[in-house]
C-alpha cells in the first residue's frame, strides 16, 4: 500500500484519485480549489485543504506527491514531505513544456500530440518522464478536442504510472535540445488577428487552435479585423473558392473569405464588447483589410504588455460593484461641465453612501482590440486608509489602463460587464458614463442625470471636507450647507395657521356648539346627538373631577366597544386627565401590567368587568353620581401641553411601554388632516381599537369636524355591514394572505385552502397570495404561482391572484408560463400584482436587478410578460445571440390582469404616489395626466351620487399622486407600452 498527497483542480484530479483508492492505496490529503473535487474528496472521507494553503499540509508525510491538473508551483518544503513527486502534463515532453500545450501544438502545425507523466524536478516540466502517450492530430481537432483527448490519454495511462510508483520507476531522461517552453504569459502573434494572405489551412488552424468551446480560453480569440470593427471567430473550415486575399466571397452559412491560397468559411462570429452573436450578413465589407507587419507587431506588443496583468483584470471585472447614479436608460448624451478642481473619487463613495464601489478609469480611447477603461475600486474606512488605497489603485490603473476586449468572450462569466456609470479620466468625459470626474471638472450627462449640477456641488462639498479631515469616511457630512438648511429647516417648516389653544375635547365642544342636534355617534342601533354625547361626557367628567382627576392624571379606560367607550374617553379629557386604553379583551395579566405601570388612580369601566389592583373605579352604567352631576362643560385648566392619552405598545420588543401624547400633538394632527382631506363632515365607520393611534383619527378628528361616527361593536367589527351599501358600484371583497407561521406539514396551508373554498362559495372576488423570501414573516408564501395553483385546484369561481409577484427576481418567460397554467386551471380567472421588490437579500435570485436596478427591471419584465401572454414572440438573450420565445401553454384570457404592489418605507405619500404613477403610466400606456383625467371622472361620479371622494381611501391615494405629478408629466410624458 502506497500513500499519496493529491493536488489538482480539475475533474481529472478526482478521476485519478478514485483509481488510487480503488487499488487500495491511501490519500492523506487532497488540495484543491475545485468544488467538484472537494465534494468527491469529502464523499470519500478524505481530508481536504484549500489550494495554496501550504501550511495546512504541515506534518503530512507520504510516499508520493501527485500533481494532476495543477498549475501552481509547489514549494520545495512541501515536495520534501514526499518520497517522490509526479506531475501530469497535457503535452509530449520535451517538445511542448509549460502551459497551453494543445494550443501551441496546433499553432505549430504539429502532426501529433500527447501527454506525459513526469517526475517533478527543479524547473518547469524538466523531470524524467515515467509514462507518455502520443496520438495523431486530426484535421478538425481544436484546442477543446485536444484537451479532451489528453484527458482520455491521462486516464488510460495512469494505471501504468501507479504500477511504477508502487513497484519501481522506468525513468526516461528528456532531450532538452528538442525542448520548447511555453510560459503563462505567452500569446499568439498579432493578438490572434487573421492574416488572409496566409493559406486557407493556416487560417483554419489558427482558429481551431484558439477554439476552447464554452470553456475558459487563457490566451486570446481568433479575430477578424474589419474596416469598422473587430469580431471574434469561433470556427473555420476550408472551402472551395478563390479571390484576392481578404475578399468576401459569400455570407451564406458563414463568412466565406478568400485566402492566399484557397478560402475559409468563418462561423460563430461574436462582437468584442459583449461576446454576442453577429450575423455574417451584417458584414458590409467587400474585402477584409490586410494587416501590415507594423500593425501585427503593435498588437503582439500590446497583448504582451497586458498578459501578466490579465488574472487581476479578469478578477476585477468578475467582482465589479459598479457605482449607480441614475436609473434613466442610455440615449443621446447631453454633456454638461461644472468646472471644479480636485474632486476626489472618494467623495462619490461618500455621497452615494457606499462602503465600496467600482468606477471606470480611462486613459483615453481604446480600439477594437483593447478597452478604453478598466475597473477602479473605491473602498471606505478611514479617510487616510481610503486615500492610500485609492492612490495605489490609481497607480495600477494608470500602468495598465486597458484589458483585452476578447476577455469578455473568453470568460463566459464576463458576458456583459457593463461600463460603470461613473468614470475617472485624465482628459474629458468617458463615453457611456453618466458622470466623469477629471482633474479640473465634473462632467455629467444631463439626459440621464438632470440634477447633475447639484450632484457636482455635493461632490465638491464632500471633497473639500475629506481634504481637511481625519477619521472615518462614513462620518463626513454629505449635504451642502444649502441642502442641510433645506432638509432640516426648509422642508421641516410645518408651521400651519390653526388655533393652538385647543385641546381634543374643546375642539369637540366647539363642534357641539355648531351642530348641536346633528347625529354624532351610532353603535348597534343606539345613537347620540352632539348635545347628548357632550352632556353624558360632561356628567361623567364632573364625577371624575370629584374623584381627584386633574390635568396630567392618567385614567384607565376599560370598556367594550360601544357608546360608553367614547363617552368615557371624552369625560377623562374634559376632567383634565389622559385616558389609558385597557381593552377588556386583553389577557388579565396584561391589563394588570397596564394598571401597575401607569399607576392610574382611577379607572373608567362598567359593571361585569373585574379589574385587579386598588384603583378607584367609575362604572358608567350604574354609578348614581353621574345622573346627579351637572351637564355643563367643566373648567379644569387643562391646556395644550397636558397629556391627552397614553397608549401602550404591543410589547413586541419586550415589556410593553406607554407612549404619551399631548393635546397639542393631536390638535396639530387634526390640522394636518384638514389640509389633506378637508374639514367637511360626513359619515365615518370607526373600526380601530382604542389601543391603536388611528382610533384618534376615527373618533376625535371626526367628532371635532361634525361627522356622524358609526362605531362597530366588538361582535361585528370584523363583519361586512349588514345593511345596504350606497355607492356608484358594488364593493368587491377579496382574501389576502400574509403571515408568520413556524409550523410544519400540510396544516401550515389549511387556512389558505379552507379560506379559499369558503370565499369561492360566498361571493368573494379573489384570493391573493404574496411573495416573500428568506424571512419567517410571510415565509409560507415564497412563490404566488405555487400557492395560486393550489388555490386554483380547490376553487371554481373566485379569481386567483399573485399579491406581489416580484418580477425582477424571475425570468419573464417563467412568470408567463406559470400563470398561464393557473389561467387554464381557472378558465381565465388568473391575475397578478407585480412588485419591484425592495429587500436586498431577496436579490440573490437575480443579483443584476438589485435596487436601484429593480425599478427598470419591473417595467421591462412586466411589458415582456404581457406581450408573452398575448402570444407575441419576445426575444431573450442566449449565450450565442437571442431566441424568440412564445410561451406555452397558451392562457385562456386574452390579456393578463396586472396590478402594482409597492413596498418599503417611502418618505412621504407623495413620493410613493410618484412611483405608483410612474408604474401606472407604463402599464396603462398613458401619461399620468391621462390617468388623472380618468380618476377625476370617477370623482365626479362619486359626487353626483352624494359621496365625498376624499372618503374613498384608494381613490384618494391615486388622486394624491396624480395631482402631485400631473403638470410635470404633461411635459415629459412617456410613450405607451404595448
Q: In the prediction, which pLDDT does 730 show?
A: 52
| Confidence band of 100 (pLDDT split at 50, 70, 90) | very high
Q: Is the pLDDT of residue 911 over 60?
A: no
Q: Is the pLDDT of residue 972 over 60?
A: no
Q: What residue spans of 125-252 are helical by DSSP H? A: 143-167, 200-209
Cell output for 293: 507587419
Q: What percent of the chain has pLDDT over 90?
A: 70
SS3 state of residue 744: coil
The secondary structure of residue 908, as a DSSP letter, is S
Alpha-carbon span 305 to 213, nearest angstrom: 26
User: Strand order of the sheet with strand 112-119?
Assistant: 48-50, 26-32, 3-7, 62-67, 82-89, 112-119, 129-136
What mean pLDDT is predicted for residues 441-451? 94
| Confidence band of 902 (pLDDT split at 50, 70, 90) | low
Alpha-carbon span 598 to 584, nearest angstrom: 16
Q: Rounded mean pLDDT of the chain?
A: 87
Cell output for 326: 441614475
- Nearest residue to 347 (alpha-carbon basis) of 447, 479, 451, 450: 479
Cell output for 80: 520534501
Q: How many CB atoms lie under 10 A from the CB of residue 586?
A: 17
Is pLDDT larger for residue 951 or for residue 702?
Answer: 702
Peptide bond into 889 cis (omega under 30): yes
Give the chain's radius of gyration (CA, Å).
38
Alpha-carbon span 813 to 967, nearest angstrom: 37
User: Strand order of the sheet with strand 374-379?
Assistant: 335-339, 441-445, 435-438, 422-425, 356-362, 374-379
What's the distance, Cα to Cα, between the start and end of the chain in Å?
72
Q: Is the pLDDT of residue 943 over 80?
A: no
User: Strand order of the sheet with strand 230-239?
Assistant: 222-225, 230-239, 263-271, 255-258, 248-250
376 forms beta bridges with 359
Alpha-carbon span 227 to 243, nearest angstrom: 19
Q: Is the pLDDT of residue 912 over 60?
A: no
Cell output for 949: 371622494
Q: Is the pLDDT of residue 448 over 90?
A: yes
Length of the chain: 978
Q: Is the pLDDT of residue 594 over 70?
A: yes
- Render pLDDT for 142-189 as a digit per residue (tens, 0 to 9): 999 999 999 999 999 999 999 999 999 999 999 999 999 999 999 999
Q: Is the pLDDT of residue 978 over 50?
A: no
What mean pLDDT is predicted for residues 415-434? 87
Alpha-carbon span 289 to 299, nearest angstrom: 15
The secondary structure of residue 701, as a DSSP letter, is I
| Confidence band of 718 (pLDDT split at 50, 70, 90) | very low
Alpha-carbon span 657 to 590, nearest angstrom: 12
Angle 344-346-352 (CA atoms, 0-180°, nearest 5)? 125
Q: Is the pLDDT of residue 896 over 80?
A: yes
Q: In the prediction, which pLDDT does 614 show?
A: 75
Alpha-carbon span 633 to 640, nearest angstrom: 17
- Render pLDDT for 319-370 as a digit per residue (tens, 0 to 9): 899 999 988 888 899 999 999 988 999 999 999 989 999 999 998 887 889 9
Alpha-carbon span 32 to 851, nearest angstrom: 36
Helix axis angle, 563-574 to 530-546, nearest 10°: 50
- State the SS3 of 862-877: HHHHHHHHHCCCEEEE
Is pLDDT larger for residue 306 or for residue 933?
Answer: 306
SS3 state of residue 800: strand
Q: Is the pLDDT of residue 940 over 60?
A: no
Q: Is the pLDDT of residue 99 over 90?
A: yes
Alpha-carbon span 577 to 302, nearest angstrom: 84
Alpha-carbon span 533 to 633, nearest angstrom: 12
> 341 φ, ψ to 5°?
-95, 150
CB 30 within 8 A of CB 17: yes
Is pLDDT larger for residue 499 or for residue 67?
Answer: 67
Q: Is the pLDDT of residue 948 over 90?
A: no
> 117 φ, ψ to 5°?
-105, 125
Q: In the prediction, which pLDDT does 953 show?
A: 29
| Confidence band of 264 (pLDDT split at 50, 70, 90) | very high
Cβ neighbours of residue 164 under 8 Å, at least 6 residues apart?
Answer: 130, 131, 170
Classify residue 84 as exposed, middle or buried by CB count within 10 Å of its CB (0-12, 13-18, 19+): middle
What mean pLDDT is predicted for residues 689-706? 94
- Render pLDDT for 357-398 as a digit per residue (tens, 0 to 9): 999 999 888 788 999 999 999 999 999 999 999 999 999 999
Query: CA quadruple 31, 33, 36, 42: dihedral positive or negative?
Result: positive
Q: Is the pLDDT of residue 926 over 80?
A: no
Task: Map grid coordinates 501550511 to a residue.
Answer: 55
Helix axis angle, 928-944 to 909-924, nearest 10°: 100
- Render pLDDT for 471-502 as a digit per residue (tens, 0 to 9): 999 999 998 888 888 888 888 776 777 788 89
- Render pLDDT for 181-196 as a digit per residue (tens, 0 to 9): 999 999 999 999 999 9
Task: Map grid coordinates 469561433 to a residue.
Answer: 234
DSSP string of 797-820, one letter each residue: SSEEEEEEEEGGGS-HHHHHHHHH
Amino acid at each position: 500500500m502506497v500513500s499519496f498527497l493529491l493536488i489538482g483542480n480539475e475533474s481529472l484530479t478526482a478521476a485519478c484519485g478514485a483509481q488510487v483508492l480503488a487499488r487500495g492505496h491511501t490519500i492523506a490529503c487532497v488540495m484543491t480549489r475545485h468544488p467538484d473535487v472537494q465534494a468527491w474528496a469529502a464523499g470519500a472521507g478524505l481530508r481536504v485543504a484549500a489550494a495554496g494553503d501550504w501550511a495546512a499540509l504541515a506534518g503530512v508525510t507520504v510516499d508520493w506527491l501527485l500533481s494532476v491538473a495543477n498549475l501552481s508551483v509547489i514549494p520545495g518544503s512541501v515536495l520534501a514531505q514526499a518520497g517522490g513527486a509526479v506531475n501530469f502534463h497535457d503535452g509530449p515532453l520535451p517538445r511542448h513544456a509549460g502551459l497551453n500545450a494543445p494550443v501551441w501544438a496546433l499553432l505549430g502545425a504539429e502532426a501529433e500530440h500527447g501527454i506525459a507523466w513526469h517526475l517533478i524536478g527543479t524547473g518547469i516540466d524538466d523531470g524524467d518522464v515515467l509514462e507518455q502517450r502520443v496520438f495523431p492530430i486530426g484535421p478538425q481537432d481544436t484546442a477543446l478536442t485536444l484537451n479532451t483527448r489528453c484527458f482520455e490519454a491521462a486516464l488510460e495511462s495512469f494505471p501504468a504510472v501507479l504500477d511504477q510508483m508502487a513497484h519501481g520507476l522506468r525513468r526516461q531522461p528528456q532531450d532538452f535540445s528538442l525542448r520548447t517552453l511555453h510560459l503563462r504569459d505567452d500569446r499568439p502573434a498579432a493578438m490572434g488577428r487573421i492574416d488572409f494572405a496566409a493559406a486557407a489551412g493556416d487560417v483554419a488552424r489558427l482558429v481551431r487552435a484558439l477554439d476552447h468551446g464554452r470553456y475558459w480560453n487563457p490566451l486570446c480569440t481568433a479575430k477578424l479585423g474589419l474596416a469598422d470593427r473587430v469580431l471574434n471567430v469561433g470556427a473555420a473550415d476550408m472551402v472551395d473558392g478563390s479571390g484576392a486575399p481578404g475578399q468576401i466571397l459569400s455570407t451564406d452559412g458563414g463568412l466565406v473569405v478568400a485566402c492566399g491560397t484557397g478560402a475559409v468559411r468563418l462561423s460563430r462570429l461574436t462582437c468584442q464588447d459583449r461576446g454576442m452573436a453577429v450575423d455574417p450578413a451584417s458584414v458590409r465589407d467587400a474585402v477584409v483589410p490586410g494587416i501590415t507587419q507594423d500593425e501585427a507587431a503593435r498588437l503582439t506588443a500590446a497583448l504582451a504588455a497586458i498578459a501578466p496583468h490579465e488574472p487581476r483584470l479578469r478578477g476585477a471585472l468578475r467582482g465589479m460593484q459598479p457605482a449607480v447614479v441614475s436609473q434613466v436608460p442610455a440615449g443621446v448624451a447631453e454633456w454638461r461641465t461644472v468646472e471644479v478642481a480636485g474632486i476626489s473619487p472618494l467623495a462619490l463613495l461618500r455621497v452615494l453612501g457606499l462602503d465600496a464601489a467600482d468606477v471606470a478609469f480611462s486613459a483615453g480611447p481604446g480600439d477594437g482590440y483593447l478597452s478604453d477603461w478598466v475597473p477602479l475600486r473605491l473602498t471606505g474606512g478611514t479617510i487616510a486608509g481610503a486615500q492610500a488605497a485609492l492612490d495605489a489603485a490609481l497607480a495600477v490603473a494608470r500602468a495598465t489602463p486597458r484589458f483585452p476586449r476578447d476577455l469578455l468572450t473568453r470568460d463566459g462569466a464576463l458576458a456583459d460587464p457593463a461600463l460603470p456609470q461613473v468614470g475617472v479620466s485624465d482628459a474629458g468625459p468617458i463615453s457611456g458614463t453618466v458622470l466623469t470626474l477629471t482633474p479640473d471638472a465634473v462632467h455629467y450627462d444631463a439626459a440621464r442625470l438632470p440634477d447633475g449640477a447639484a450632484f457636482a456641488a455635493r461632490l465638491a462639498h464632500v471633497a473639500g471636507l475629506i481634504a481637511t479631515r481625519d477619521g472615518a469616511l462614513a462620518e463626513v457630512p454629505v449635504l451642502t450647507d444649502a441642502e442641510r438648511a433645506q432638509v432640516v429647516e426648509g422642508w421641516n417648516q410645518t408651521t400651519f395657521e390653526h388655533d393652538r389653544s385647543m385641546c381634543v375635547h374643546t375642539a369637540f365642544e366647539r363642534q357641539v356648539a355648531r351642530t348641536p342636534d346633528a347625529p354624532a355617534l351610532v353603535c348597534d342601533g343606539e345613537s347620540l346627538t352632539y348635545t347628548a354625547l357632550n352632556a353624558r361626557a360632561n356628567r361623567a367628567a364632573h364625577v371624575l373631577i370629584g374623584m381627584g382627576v386633574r390635568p396630567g392624571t392618567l385614567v384607565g379606560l376599560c370598556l367594550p366597544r360601544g357608546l360608553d367607550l367614547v363617552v368615557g374617553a371624552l369625560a377623562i379629557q374634559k376632567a383634565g386627565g389622559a385616558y389609558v386604553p385597557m381593552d377588556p379583551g386583553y389577557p388579565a395579566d396584561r391589563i394588570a401590567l397596564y394598571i401597575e405601570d401607569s399607576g392610574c388612580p382611577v379607572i373608567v369601566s362598567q359593571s361585569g368587568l373585574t379589574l385587579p389592583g386598588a384603583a378607584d373605579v367609575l362604572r358608567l352604567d350604574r354609578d348614581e353620581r353621574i345622573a346627579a352631576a351637572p351637564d355643563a362643560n367643566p373648567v379644569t385648566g387643562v391646556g395644550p401641553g397636558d397629556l391627552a392619552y397614553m397608549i401602550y405598545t404591543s410589547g413586541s420588543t419586550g415589556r410593553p411601554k406607554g407612549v404619551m401624547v399631548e393635546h397639542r400633538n393631536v390638535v396639530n394632527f387634526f390640522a394636518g388632516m384638514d389640509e389633506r382631506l378637508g374639514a367637511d363632515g360626513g359619515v365615518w365607520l370607526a373600526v380601530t381599537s382604542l389601543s391603536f393611534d388611528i382610533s384618534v383619527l376615527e373618533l376625535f378628528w371626526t367628532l371635532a369636524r361634525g361627522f356622524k361616527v358609526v362605531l362597530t361593536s366588538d361582535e361585528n367589527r370584523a363583519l361586512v355591514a349588514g345593511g345596504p351599501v350606497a355607492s356608484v358600484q358594488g364593493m368587491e371583497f377579496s382574501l389576502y394572505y400574509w403571515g408568520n407561521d413556524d409550523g410544519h406539514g400540510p396544516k401550515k396551508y389549511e387556512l389558505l385552502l379552507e379560506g379559499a373554498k369558503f370565499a369561492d362559495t360566498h361571493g368573494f372576488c379573489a384570493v391573493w397570495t404574496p411573495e416573500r423570501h428568506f424571512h419567517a414573516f410571510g415565509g409560507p408564501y415564497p412563490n404566488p404561482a405555487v400557492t395560486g395553483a393550489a388555490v386554483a385546484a380547490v376553487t371554481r369561481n373566485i379569481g386567483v391572484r399573485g399579491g406581489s409577484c416580484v418580477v425582477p427576481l424571475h425570468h419573464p418567460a417563467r412568470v408567463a408560463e406559470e400563470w398561464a397554467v393557473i389561467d387554464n386551471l381557472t378558465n381565465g380567472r388568473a391575475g397578478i400584482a407585480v412588485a419591484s421588490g425592495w429587500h436586498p437579500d431577496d436579490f440573490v435570485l437575480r443579483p443584476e436587478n438589485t435596487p436601484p436596478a429593480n425599478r427598470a427591471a419591473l417595467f421591462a419584465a412586466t411589458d415582456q410578460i404581457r406581450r408573452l401572454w398575448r402570444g407575441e414572440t419576445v426575444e431573450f438573450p442566449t449565450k450565442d445571440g437571442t431566441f424568440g420565445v412564445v410561451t406555452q401553454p397558451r392562457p385562456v384570457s386574452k390579456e393578463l390582469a396586472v396590478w402594482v404592489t409597492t413596498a418599503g418605507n417611502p418618505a412621504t405619500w407623495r413620493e410613493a404616489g410618484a412611483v405608483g404613477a410612474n408604474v401606472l403610466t407604463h402599464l396603462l400606456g398613458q401619461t399620468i395626466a391621462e390617468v388623472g383625467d380618468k380618476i377625476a371622472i370617477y370623482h365626479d361620479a362619486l359626487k353626483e351620487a352624494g359621496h365625498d371622494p376624499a372618503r374613498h381611501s384608494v381613490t384618494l391615494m391615486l388622486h394624491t399622486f396624480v395631482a402631485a405629478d400631473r403638470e410635470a408629466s404633461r411635459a415629459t410624458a412617456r410613450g405607451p407600452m404595448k
